[in-house]
Amino acid sequence: MRQTELFTKTRREDPADEVSKNAKLLIRAGYIHKEMAGVYSFLPLGLRVLEKIKTIVREEMNAVSGQEILMTALQEKELWEKTDRWDDAKVDIWFKTKLKNGTELGLGMSHEEPLVQIMKDHIKSYRDLPVSAYQFQTKFRNELRPKSGIMRGREFLMKDMYSFHSEQSELDTYYEKVEAAYERVYKRVGLGDYTFKTFASGGIFTKYSHEYQTLSEAGEDTIYISREKNLAINEEVYTDEVLAELGLERSELEMAKSIEVGNIFKLSTRYSEPLGLVYLDEAGKSYPVVMGCYGLGISRLMGTVVEVLADAGGLVWPKAIAPFSFHLVSLGNSAEVIKGAEELYKELAEQKIDVLFDNRDLSAGEKLADADLLGVPYRIIVSDKTLANGKFEVKDRRSGEVSFMTASEITALV
């Protein structure tokens, strides 16, 4: 893509009404647009990152036999009353609206109830189990004072998967598979070294749920981590009793701020029982279906990558989720530079390598500052100097390392 064709512009100044690093940088770089507090639109560059994260998550959910679906945002009050989750006194983050005839509706903040309702049409016998379904969907939550940018939206993108089983033991086995899939996701998006499986409250009929927490000073959570054992405990369950149960000593744990990038639960029959999702066993006897649920904040994950990896110059994207692999920047207006940059751009494009080509007629200082701000993994400079040298200058955005390469060496990088 030619940068002259990209409609978004960068800005030098931080937006006045943002405190979080992720919102400041993503707005300055033109990745997102703030509609109102906690509500952001994704612009071309931002959407490319979001889609790459979704692709990784989709591959990993498919690998554990998840079947992708798309449920509705509009939710029926009666369904949520059956599980006692409609009342604002019980769930205080609902956005509610009304039909013209006065019928109350909710905007989905989670999707256990509607999926159980769907599954009642499809799960009849033990032969129909196990099954697992997931979606990428906009969730609506009336969060109090969101100040963490896209990490805490009132409207945000979540991947939520739900699994259905005949036995608790089968759920236990499947849950472990999903844990491994989550670990692969965080590793692939570049947060593997910073993300810990964390024991947290909120399990239903089991003592814990598990969160995936990424270390960051920008986090709203506090956890106690053991790097050696590669796990952590959320402060909400950090008690002597829990420590003893997990075989951990206070002295081996280190306190840290963190961001919750995922949360998985064993639900047991919490939703299947009140909603009547049952299956018949071999003898024709009826039992409630045993469930698990697996949430992962897609937009929050993007914000977390910014919080963890961005530097003083701007955004820094891991290769797997960067909007482009290369940022080709021409410096100067000589006929040789224009020709050299155009030729390299065509060569990369022919090889289907995704490259952003800064062909704008701006000063070197402006173009280099923008390249740093946008955070594409490799910046390639074409200038009179590099042409005289016979090689292109390639800078690794993350390490700052500069090397000189031929066109074929550049294509070999991806």
Stretch that binds ligand ATP, among 125-133, 148-156, 167-175, 390-398 (CB under 6 A): 148-156
CA atoms within 13 A on the CB side of 256: 20
The one among 60, 260, 358, 370 contacting ligand ATP by CB under 6 A:
260
Q: Which of 6, 30, 19 is nearest to 373 (CA)?
A: 30
- In degrees and rounded to multiples of 5, residue 235 shows phi and psi of -60, -25
Angle at the Cα of 115 from the Cα atoms of 109 and 119, rounded to 5 degrees: 175
| Amino acid letter for position 118 | I
Report d(CA 351, CA 104) in Å as an integer: 54
Query: How far is residue 378's CA from residue 319's CA, in Å, rounded to a whole number?
Result: 9
Q: Would you state the structure tokens that stand for residue 370, as one six-digit string?
A: 């923008």
Choice from 76, 128, 143, 183 touching ligand ATP (CB under 6 A)? 143
The 8-class DSSP code of residue 135 comes to E
Closest CB 301 distance from ligand ATP, rounded Å: 7
Minimum CB separation of residue 263 from Mg ion in Å reads 4
Residue 152 near ligand ATP by CB under 6 A: yes
Please report how close the Cβ of residue 211 comes to ligand ATP at its closest, in angstroms.
7
How near is the Cβ of 104 to Mg ion at its closest, in Å? 26
> Is 357 near ligand ATP (CB under 6 A)?
no
Total binding residues toward Mg ion, as defined by CB under 5 A: 1
3-state secondary structure of 68: strand
**Three-class DSSP category at 53:** helix
- Among the listed ranges 153-161, 273-281, 330-338, 369-377, the one in contact with ligand ATP (CB under 6 A) is 153-161
Among 263, 268, 269, 304, binds Mg ion (CB under 5 A): 263
Binding partner at 262 among Mg ion, ligand ATP, none, C-beta below 5 to 8 Å by kind: ligand ATP
| Nearer CB in complex with Mg ion: 20/263 | 263
Question: Which one among 262, 314, 318, 377 touches ligand ATP, defined by CB under 6 A?
Answer: 262
Alpha-carbon distance of 375 to 372, in angstroms, equals: 5
Nearest to 79 by CA among 310, 274, 288: 274
Q: Is 213 a residue that touches Mg ion (CB under 5 A)?
A: no
Residues that bind ligand ATP (CB under 6 A): 110, 141, 143, 152-153, 156, 158, 260-263, 295-297, 299-300
Residues that bind Mg ion (CB under 5 A): 263
